[in-house]
Each structure stands twice: as structure tokens, then as C-alpha cells.
């Protein structure tokens, strides 16, 4: 008996050899099977393979392609459905750009179990032979065709965002609510469509629709606000209205409709519609009213009682007011939105500098500072009327410390309505009739009062020619030393101004004595020690009047002569004033005046043979040249 012993040292090698042998045997069997199976079905599709559910087992690629083309009609007969709310669109895959390739699909079926290497091919063969394998059909999807089809759907689905709107048709308010916007997302919908076509089955493809909300959806409340604004006329008033106040002013409904503005504003990232009267239009209108509403504060008027040395009130002070236009705009719009149609503008008060209760001690008005009188002998009744009317505007007027007083501002409107009459004035190089002739008697009197009181003169204009009224003295004689001390006012072009350069108020009083033909101007205050000296050259460079002028007047009769202007010599006058205080010169100034030579003017009626001789006979328009 022979016994074989196996060494433990050789055991692993023997096991490894057995494993390798087994693996090689497995490979050999796999190759034999695979190659043999392929040889068995050479040129034919393996059993168990189908395309889109169509069995093509054992068929050659050409036969399979023929069968597929005859069997699979999905591209033509299939139905793809799109739905949006109650709208439906149905299209065949072919209409959506899908094309089925039977040859490529059959070739794909033939390759099943023949690709993927040895083991991949074997796995495919086993899968097809066991459970069966359904190969996806080969499709060509032209997205351009599908895009065009979806664009047609989009044209029926898409709608723009519509913002709510509010407009006026005349006085009618028309409100339009906002509307959601819709937009078909073509690219996203194409993805879903491609997946459905690839399934080779009928089905519904979801439409990817994106919505956009308007910034403004509902403006019904704003429409109601606009209707409230237009429900009745708007009345603007002055607050606490009293007799003599301007207004009220009423705006009819069509006027308000033209002023309504509808604005959309951003508020904390949200859009809001605001309704009200247009700010620019309302501002323009209120600025026009402001000229009537605004009122300057007026100081109380006083006279000085020479016996008691105290001032006595003759007219109360008045509080001024100023319209706040911007605040009034807000007040009007807020009131209209509340349904209120009578609105008071917003005003601020301005208190006068001097109240009725002021005393002379408070103001520094303690005594007569200066007084000056001019004479107007030979004046017509109309000229006297104007002197009385103009001088009355300054009686009791106060001039504040440091104030530059304007005669034109205090004089007011020189008109027939304000008590003035037509009299001779100098205008356009001629002496003619005009409203206010004689006012310069008042301005000349004020100039001389200020001149001799020693106050600085800021603005003064002389007359174009020497006027006899302003050179007359108490004896009704011409005093040449008074030449160059006249002042004319034709406001606002020509004014007379002086400055109160003292720390005290000035009180001015004017007195007209019609019978004596005098105008006296007084200034009360507190003396500050100033005095005045002055020198005048008197008229120099005197030239004779111009030759008389004769003009035909169709309103006169033949041989009728009428003198309408009078001759005057031309001259230059230089007046120097020195104001002293504390024994020293406080200031000095110079007033230079140039008077033009003036011609007499006579008018004659048509048919007058020799106007000059006719004038001589009546001693009219005489001069050295006639």
C-alpha cells in the first residue's frame, strides 16, 4: 500500500492553481457562449428585444426597420395636449417637430447585447432573453418647430401687466382697475415637451406660465377722493375774515377739474396713487391771491400836543399778515380730501413796530425838531386840491430810527379815485395837464424840512425848469436863494428819500392853510445837537428862455390864441450844506441843479393869419425873441 503525503507548504499554490483554472474555464465558457450566441443570431436581433413595445426579436435590422415604420405611427397619430385654464391645444408630435427614425431605432435594437464588452454583451443577452429589453426609439426633435408652435400659444395666453389708472373726462372721473400680467415661459415648457415626446406616448405637457402683478391694482378709493373734490366749487377765504378783507374767491368745478393731478409715488417700496390739486397750478393761483391777502403792518398815527408835550393817537395800528403759500397748498388739498370745500389760507401775523399805546418817551418824540413852510400863491383850485390830498398822506407818519423814508411809498396811488385832480405837470418836456399836479409842492416842502433839519438825503431830483411856486417867499416875491431847493416825485420812477440817522423816532405833521396859501411841515423828535449851515451860488450860467412855440389846435377857432406853457430861464445852481454836531462837522453834502431853458407854448385855431401877431396883441407867449 502506497501512501501520498501533501506538504502544507505546497497547499496555497495548489488552491491558487485550482482557482485560476476555474476562472479560465469560466472565461472560455463565456466566450464560447457569447460568440456562439452571436453566431447563432448573426445578422438578427436577439430574442426578447423590442422598440417602443414593438417586438423585433430575430429580425434583421432592415426587417425590423420596416416593421417599426409600419407599426409605430406615434409621430403622426399621437396627441400632445396643452392646457391653460379653459383653453386647450392638441398637436401631433410631428407638428411639434418630432421625427421618428426607424432605421436608426432598428440598428439600436440590433446592437443591444452586442456592445459593452464581453460581460456587457453577455448581460444584455441574458436580460433580453430573460425579462426582455425595450429599446428607446431614435427620435429627431426640431425645437425650432416646437418653439414656433409654442409662440402661437403664447400669443393667446400672454397679456401685459395693466396698471390701475385714473383720468378725468371733463368733470367725470374714470377709474380703471389693474390687471395681472401673464407670460408663457417657452424655454421651460420646451423641457417638459421634450420629455413627453421621448416617452413615445400621448400625454399632457404643462405650460409654464409666469404671472406679474401690477404695482397698482385698485384705485377706487382715489376715484372716490377725486369725485369728492369735484362735488362742489372750492371757496378760498382769509382766516377770521372781517369787513374790508379781500375775498372770498370761488373756483368753479370745471376750473378745479383742470387743476386736478393724479400722481404715482413710491412709499416704502410700494406704489401709491395720490389725488389732489396740481401743486404748480395751485401755487400759481395762490401766489396771485397773496398780493391781495398780504398786508403790511401799519404803525399807529399820532399828533404832538404842543401844550402837554405828549403824543396823541389819531389812528390805530394794524397787524400785518403774510400768506404762507406752501402751507396753504397743503391746507387746501387736505381739506378737499376730507370733503371740505371752504378753506382758509394759512397766514402769519406781523406786528407793527409802534402800537397805539406807545408814548413819546417810548419813541423819543419829545419836542418840535424843525418846521418849514412853502407858499403856493397863484395856484389853481385843482393844484390846491392836490396839495391838500398829498400832504394829508404824511400827517402823523412815523419814521423809525435808521429807516430810509420813501415819499413815494407813503404817498400811494395818485389818482382821481384817491382825491386828486388834474392840474399842470411837467411830462415829456412839456407842461401839460395831468392827475396830481401840485404834488411836487409837497415833495419840495419835505426836502427843505429835511435839508434844514440836517438829515441825510438819499435820493432827490429837481424839476426840469425853474418853477416860480418854489422860489416864492412869504411876501410872494421870488427869492433866487431858494432856486435849487426843489424836489420832484413821479413814483415809482422818481422818488424822494431821506434817512433818519438818529436813535429816535421821527413824527411828521403837515398843515395846509388854503387861505394863506401855505404848506407847513413839522418834524418832532429828540434833538441830538446837530445844526445846519448852507451856501448857495444862486442861479448861474443863466440863459434866456427858448423862442415861443406856436402850434395849431383844431379845437380852437380862427384868430383864437391860447397859452399852454410859460417861458423860464435856464440856469445852474450849486447848494452846499454842512451839518454840525458837537462843534464839529458831522457831514456835508452838495446839491447840484441844472435847469433847462423853457419855451412858452401857444396854440391857435385853424385859419389864424399870423399867430405871432395875434399873440402879441393879447400879450401871450412873449419873450425877448418875439
Write the burial class of residue 217 (CB in 10 Å: 0-12 exposed, 13-18 middle, 19+ buried).
middle
User: Secondary structure of 457-469 in the HEC alphabet?
Assistant: EEECCCCCCCCHH
DSSP conformation class of 246:
-
CA torsion 41-44-48-51 (nearest 10°) is 160
Is 437's pLDDT higher than 60? Answer: yes
Q: What is the mean pLDDT of residues 326-354?
A: 93
Model confidence, pTM: 0.61
If you search the block for the grid coordinates 397787524, which residue do you land on?
Answer: 319
Helix (H, G, I), strand (E, B) or coil at 42: coil
Instruction: Tell me which of 454 and 268 has the higher pLDDT.
Output: 454
What does DSSP say about strands 249-251 and 234-237: parallel, antiparallel, or unpaired?
antiparallel
The Cα 219–Cα 214 span in angstroms is 12
**Model confidence at 234: pLDDT above 90:** yes
Residue 411's pLDDT is 83
Residue pLDDT, tens place only, 30-77: 565 556 566 678 788 889 888 888 888 888 898 888 888 888 888 888
Q: Where are the alpha helices (DSSP H) in 397-470?
A: 407-411, 439-453
The Cα 492–Cα 173 span in angstroms is 49
Per the document, the length of the chain is 626
Indicate the pLDDT class of residue 427, thresholds 50, 70 and 90: very low
For residue 420, pLDDT beyond 80: no
Per residue in 359-393, pLDDT (tens digit) is: 999 999 999 999 999 998 988 888 888 899 889 98
Question: What DSSP string runs through 343-357?
Answer: EEPPEEEE--SS-TT
Rounded to the nearest angstrom, the gap between the alpha carbon of residue 556 and the centroid of all alpha carbons in its chain is: 60
Q: For 136-182, what is each residue's pLDDT tens digit?
A: 888 888 899 999 999 999 999 999 998 888 888 888 988 888 888 99
67: Cβ contacts below 8 Å, ≥ 6 apart: 54, 56, 59
Q: Which of 19-28, 64-73, 383-392, 526-535 has the lowest mean pLDDT?
A: 19-28
Q: Alpha-carbon distance 376 to 470, whole Å?
A: 8
Report yes or no: 178 and 162 within 8 Å, Cβ to Cβ.
yes
Q: Are the C-beta atoms of residues 135 and 110 closer than 8 Å to each other?
A: no
322 φ/ψ angles, rounded to the nearest 5 degrees: -135, 125
Cell numbers placing 330: 397743503
Delimit the domains of the chain by residue range: 25-162+177-211, 220-350, 359-528, 533-626
Dist. CA 411–CA 382, nearest whole Å: 18
* R_g (Cα) of the chain, nearest Å: 57
Say what percent of the chain tops pLDDT 90.
45
- H/E element holding 168? strand 165-169
CATH classification (class only), 220-350: alpha beta
Residue 17 has pLDDT above 70, yes or no: no
| Alpha-carbon dihedral 276, 279, 280, 284, rounded to 10 degrees | 100
Residue with cell 418647430: 145
Spatial separation of the C-alpha atoms in residues 231 and 219, rounded to whole Å: 18
* Model pLDDT for residues 553-591, shown as the tens digit of each residue: 898 888 888 887 788 888 999 999 999 999 999 999 999
Contacts of 98 (CB under 8 A, 6+ apart): 75, 139, 140, 141, 142, 197
pLDDT band for position 419 (cuts 50, 70, 90): low
Report the distance separating Cα 192 and Cα 212, nearest Å. 22
Which long-range contacts link 208-213 to residues 24+ away (Cβ below 8 Å)?
A: 208/184, 209/84, 209/157, 209/182, 209/183, 209/184, 209/185, 210/182, 210/183, 210/184, 210/185, 211/180, 211/181, 211/182, 211/183, 212/161, 212/180, 212/181, 212/182, 212/183, 213/161, 213/180, 213/181
Q: Is the pLDDT reported for residue 206 higher than 60?
A: yes
Give the integer Cα–Cα distance in Å for 322 and 436.
32
Whether 464 has a pLDDT exceeding 70, the answer reads yes
Residue 436 pLDDT exceeds 70: no
Whether the Cβ atoms of residue 125 and residue 110 lie closer than 8 Å to each other: no
- Euclidean distance between CA atoms 49 and 109, whole angstroms: 7
* pLDDT at res. 19: 64
Statement: residue 223 has pLDDT above 50: yes
Helix residue ranges per DSSP H, 78-162 = 102-111, 117-130, 143-157
What is the Cα 151 distance to its own chain's centre? 46
Q: State the architecture of 533-626 in CATH terms.
A: Single Sheet (2.20)
CB-count burial class (<10 Å; 0-12, 13-18, 19+) for 229: buried
Q: Show Cβ contacts of residue 295 under 8 Å, excluding neighbours closer than 6 positions.
A: 318, 320, 321
Amino acid at each position: 500500500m502506497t501512501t501520498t503525503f501533501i506538504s502544507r507548504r505546497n497547499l496555497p499554490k495548489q488552491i491558487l492553481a485550482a482557482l485560476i483554472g476555474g476562472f479560465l474555464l469560466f472565461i472560455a465558457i463565456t466566450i464560447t457562449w457569447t460568440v456562439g450566441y452571436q453566431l447563432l443570431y448573426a445578422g438578427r436581433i436577439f430574442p426578447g428585444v423590442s422598440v417602443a413595445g414593438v417586438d423585433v426579436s430575430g429580425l434583421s435590422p432592415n426587417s425590423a426597420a420596416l416593421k417599426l415604420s409600419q407599426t409605430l405611427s406615434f409621430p403622426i397619430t399621437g396627441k400632445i395636449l396643452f392646457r391653460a385654464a379653459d383653453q386647450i391645444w392638441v398637436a401631433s408630435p410631428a407638428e411639434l417637430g418630432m421625427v421618428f427614425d426607424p432605421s436608426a431605432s432598428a440598428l439600436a435594437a440590433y446592437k443591444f447585447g452586442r456592445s459593452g464588452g464581453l460581460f456587457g454583451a453577455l448581460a444584455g443577452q441574458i436580460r433580453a432573453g430573460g425579462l426582455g429589453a425595450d429599446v428607446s426609439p431614435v427620435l429627431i426633435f426640431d425645437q425650432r418647430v416646437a418653439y414656433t408652435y409654442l409662440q402661437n400659444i403664447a400669443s393667446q395666453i400672454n397679456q401685459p401687466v395693466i396698471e390701475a389708472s385714473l383720468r378725468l373726462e371733463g368733470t367725470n372721473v374714470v377709474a380703471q382697475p389693474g390687471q395681472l400680467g401673464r407670460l408663457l415661459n417657452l424655454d421651460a415648457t420646451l423641457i417638459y415637451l421634450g420629455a413627453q415626446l421621448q416617452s413615445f406616448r400621448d400625454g399632457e405637457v404643462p405650460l409654464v406660465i409666469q404671472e406679474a402683478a401690477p404695482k397698482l391694482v385698485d384705485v377706487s378709493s382715489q376715484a372716490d377722493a377725486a369725485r369728492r373734490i369735484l362735488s362742489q366749487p372750492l371757496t378760498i377765504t382769509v382766516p377770521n375774515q372781517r369787513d374790508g378783507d379781500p375775498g372770498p374767491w370761488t373756483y368753479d368745478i370745471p376750473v378745479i377739474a383742470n387743476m386736478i393731478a393724479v400722481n404715482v409715488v413710491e412709499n416704502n417700496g410700494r406704489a401709491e396713487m395720490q389725488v389732489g390739486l396740481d401743486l404748480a397750478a395751485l401755487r400759481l393761483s395762490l401766489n396771485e391771491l397773496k398780493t391781495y391777502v398780504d398786508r403790511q403792518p401799519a404803525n399807529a398815527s399820532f399828533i404832538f400836543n404842543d401844550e402837554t408835550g405828549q403824543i396823541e393817537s389819531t389812528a390805530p395800528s394794524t397787524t400785518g399778515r403774510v400768506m404762507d403759500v406752501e402751507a396753504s397748498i397743503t391746507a387746501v388739498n387736505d381739506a378737499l380730501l376730507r370733503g371740505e370745500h371752504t378753506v382758509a389760507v394759512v397766514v402769519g401775523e406781523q406786528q407793527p413796530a409802534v402800537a397805539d399805546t406807545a408814548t413819546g418817551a417810548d419813541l423819543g418824540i419829545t419836542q418840535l425838531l424843525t418846521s418849514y413852510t412853502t407858499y403856493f400863491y397863484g395856484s389853481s383850485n385843482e393844484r390846491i386840491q392836490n396839495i391838500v390830498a398829498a400832504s394829508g398822506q404824511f400827517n402823523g407818519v412815523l419814521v423809525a430810527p435808521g429807516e430810509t423814508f420813501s415819499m413815494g411809498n407813503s404817498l400811494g396811488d395818485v389818482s382821481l379815485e384817491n382825491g386828486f385832480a388834474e392840474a399842470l405837470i411837467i411830462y415829456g418836456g412839456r407842461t401839460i395837464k395831468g392827475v396830481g399836479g401840485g404834488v411836487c409842492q409837497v415833495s419840495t416842502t419835505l426836502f427843505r424840512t429835511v435839508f434844514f433839519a440836517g438829515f441825510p438825503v438819499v435820493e432827490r431830483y429837481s424839476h426840469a425848469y425853474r418853477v416860480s411856486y418854489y422860489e416864492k417867499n412869504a411876501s410872494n416875491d421870488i427869492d433866487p436863494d431858494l432856486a435849487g431847493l426843489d424836489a420832484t416825485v413821479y413814483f415809482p420812477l422818481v422818488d424822494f428819500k431821506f434817512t433818519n440817522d438818529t436813535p429816535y423816532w421821527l413824527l411828521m405833521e403837515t398843515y395846509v392853510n388854503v387861505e394863506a396859501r401855505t404848506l407847513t411841515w413839522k418834524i418832532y423828535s429828540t434833538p441830538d445837537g446837530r445844526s445846519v449851515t448852507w451856501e448857495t451860488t444862486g442861479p448861474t450860467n443863466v440863459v434866456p428862455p427858448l423862442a415861443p412855440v406856436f402850434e395849431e389846435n383844431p379845437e380852437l377857432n380862427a384868430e383864437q390864441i391860447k397859452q399852454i406853457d410859460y417861458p423860464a430861464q435856464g440856469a445852474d445852481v450849486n447848494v452846499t450844506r454842512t451839518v454840525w454836531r458837537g462843534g464839529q462837522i458831522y457831514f456835508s453834502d452838495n446839491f447840484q441843479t441844472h435847469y433847462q431853458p423853457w419855451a412858452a407854448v401857444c396854440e391857435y385855431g385853424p385859419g389864424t393869419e399870423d399867430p405871432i401877431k395875434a399873440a402879441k396883441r393879447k400879450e401871450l407867449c412873449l419873450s425877448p425873441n418875439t
